[in-house]
Copies of this chain bind each other. A is one copy, B any other.
Amino acid sequence: MLRISFERAAGPGAPPLYEQLYRAVAAQIRAGELAAGERMPGKRSLAAELGLSVNTVDTAYQLLAAEGWLAARPRSGFFVCPYEGPLAPPRLPCGAAPAQQPAAAWRYDLSTGGVDTGLFPFRTWGRIQKELLYGRPELLAHGHPQGDGDLRQAIAEYLRAYRGVDCDPGQVVVGAGVEYLLGLVGRLAAGRTAALEDPGYGRPGRILENSGLFCLPVPVDGQGLDPGALAASGADLVYVTPSHQFPTGAVMPAGRRAALLRWAGAAPGRLILEDDYDSEFRFGLRPLPSLQGMAGRDGPVVYLSTFSRSLAPSIRIAYMVLPTGLLGPFRSAFGSYSSTVSRFEQQTLRLFLQRGHYVRHLARARGQYKARMLALTRALEAAFGPGALEFYGQHTGLHLLLRFPGGPPEAEMVRAARAAGVRLAGLTDYCRAPGRTPLPDHTVVLGYGALCPGDVAPLAQVLKKAW
């Protein structure tokens, strides 16, 4: 008969006896000390031998059988199952994991991702959230894959009134970030060639490449993406920021928008991805209407935007408006995916929109950001002297370009600023194909979304000293 080695552990923290016995037997099978096919001792005899109760042995045997270490045969007991261990842990042929980089401690952060979270309407948001959490238990159940219908309705109404977007709520898809939504669209277009603005955002190119598209750069001039260069590129999809080109701030004029739509209409299946980021923070008369609105609901434009910048970066609610012709392919590919946004947050946002809080919040935030932008440009002008600096793209938040024609070269401006504790990027840092697009020299990108008002004057002095 098989000999079972078992040493009982005692004291607080020791596992229950059945668990100890289970582990001892499994370890002996794993080590090859109990051979496959052999009959285990009867429960009563093993219990007597080890000084355990029959119940304890029975429990351990049941557990071993449930996990496939032993097989129970009716009326003959338990037998050891065949077990051939895994080899030495195989390593995947991949590089070592890079350590996460620590955030440098900057004195002033002028990177473009920042927003002022102090503007977040805590009280209102919290009140609505509480109201929903106690009052709407049905929100725990599965929602619509594209997002709750009433939220999509509220978004469609907001977009119609403020962005000239022409759509039905059925065309709206709510998701946890523009990146997620762009990834879905990218999967529908896998294998295609996408044109991206140069200079431009880095992330959309990365997402489209991850989705299986081939990406190429197309130059931007003072009116945004160049449609002639787009047509010559051979791309059949384009990612654009017509309301406020990132990072140059160029606004695409109506004539060029029409040219972009003509490009899309000139061959079947061409698609424009319009990222309308930051259009909520236009400081002029009103935001420009969207390219989507010009194309219409059946047109070739996917409109993308987010609440993460206008509310708070940690609130992950973005949306896109699909053209009617893409709804079928979208639903057949992703119609079974669950929405990625918690329904409590969806419904909090819906009420926040429908009760007018969002429009009021934007008006307030817009005022704050505009004042900050003006304070920043004035402080810089005061520090550098009249006419020494030029500013571009300051009509829409939350960044602008600063050009210093009499200053050091761009790379030196960036280096000196960073050495003085100011986090900022040069315009050429956003180039996809460095040198291909003619760009203004001596130019840096200043994001002021997260800049404290009290820091504006000292920052201007620090930059003056650095340059």
Chain A residues engaging chain B, CB cutoff 8 angstroms: 18, 26, 29, 59, 62-63, 66-69, 81-98, 100, 113, 117-118, 120, 122, 125-126, 129-130, 133-134, 137-144, 170, 176-177, 179-180, 183, 187, 190, 202-203, 206-207, 210-212, 223, 251-259, 261-262, 264-266, 268-271, 284-286, 288-289, 294-296, 298-300, 308, 312-316, 323-329, 331-334, 336-345, 395
Contacts and interface: CB of A to CB of B under 8 A. Distances in A.
8 contacts: A59-B285, A84-B258, A92-B268, A120-B140, A142-B313, A176-B176, A206-B336, A207-B337
Given A86-B295, A92-B325, A66 B300 contact: no
Given A68-B254, A92-B269, A338-B179, A139 B86 contact: no
* Oligomeric state, in copies: 2
B68 A223 contact: yes
Nearest to A336: B203
Contacts of A92: 268-269, 271, 300, 323, 325-326
Contacts of A294: 86
B94 A326 contact: yes
A137 B113 contact: no
A117 B344 CA distance: 14
Contacts of A223: 68
Most buried by B among A97, A206, A288: A97
A177 B343 CA distance: 13
A171 to B, nearest CB: 8
The 6 closest A-B pairs by CB, nearest first: A68-B253, A92-B325, A97-B327, A90-B265, A176-B340, A86-B261
A341 B315 CA distance: 8
B212 A190 contact: yes
A122 B117 contact: no
A270 B90 contact: yes
B176 A288 contact: no
A325 B96 CA distance: 6
Contacts of A59: 285
Contacts of A331: 97-98
B203 A313 contact: no
A340 B190 contact: no
Contact of A338 (B122, B177, B271, B300): B177
B210 A67 contact: no
A314 B342 contact: yes
A262 B117 contact: no
Contact of A262 (B87, B180, B332): B87
B86 A325 contact: no
Contacts of A342: 314-316, 342, 345
Contact of A313 (B126, B141, B313, B329): B141
A85 B262 CA distance: 8
B62 A176 contact: no
A160 to B, nearest CB: 14
